[in-house]
Structure 1
Amino acid sequence: MYMLGLALVLTLLKYLEIGPVANWSWWWVLAPYGLTAAWWAWADASGYTKRKEVEKIERRKQARVNKHKEALGMGTRRPR
């Protein structure tokens, strides 16, 4: 997402002819869009996106379990 944000900012700077970006070639300004597309393609193909989503769900699930244990006064067990 950072690369997409950078691409949007560079495009805006080039379009409005602000700063040194105004003198850059359009190829340099539009390159971050290609890098963003390549990153998303790799992340989806390698399973990176799905793995991060599963990790997020597991963290939320564990937080919910811990919250209910605290509410019942059981506390959480410490690893040995």
Structure 2
Amino acid sequence: MPLIIIIVVLIALKYFEIGPFAGMSWWWIAGLMAIAFIWFEFLERMFGLDKRKAHEELEKTRADRVKKTFEKHKGSGR
């Protein structure tokens, strides 16, 4: 995600010709976009990072559900 933010900021700085970024080539930004594409489409899947994030979200949801269930039963006198 930080890579995407950097790309957006660089595009804005280049487009509005702010500071030293006015003379920067668009190829640098296109290169960063290509790196981001390769990362998110291939490398993230290859390393399993996309599944890890999804698994962590499911595990957190399950833990919250279990916690709520035990709190509800604790309060009902069981």
TM-score, L = length of structure 1: 0.78
More helix by share: 2
How many positions carry a matched residue from both structures?
A: 74
Give the unaligned 5+ runs of structure 1. Answer: 75-80
Give the unaligned 5+ runs of structure 2. Answer: none
Structure 2: distance between partners of 1:7 and 1:21: 12
Give the aligned residue type for 2:35. Answer: L
| C-alpha RMSD of matched pairs (Å) | 1.6
Larger RCO (alpha carbons 8 Å, 6+ apart): 1
Counting only pairs closer than 5 Å after superposition, residues 1-80 of structure 1 correspond to structure 2 as 1-40=1-40, 41-73=42-74
TM-score, L = length of structure 2: 0.79
Identity %: 35
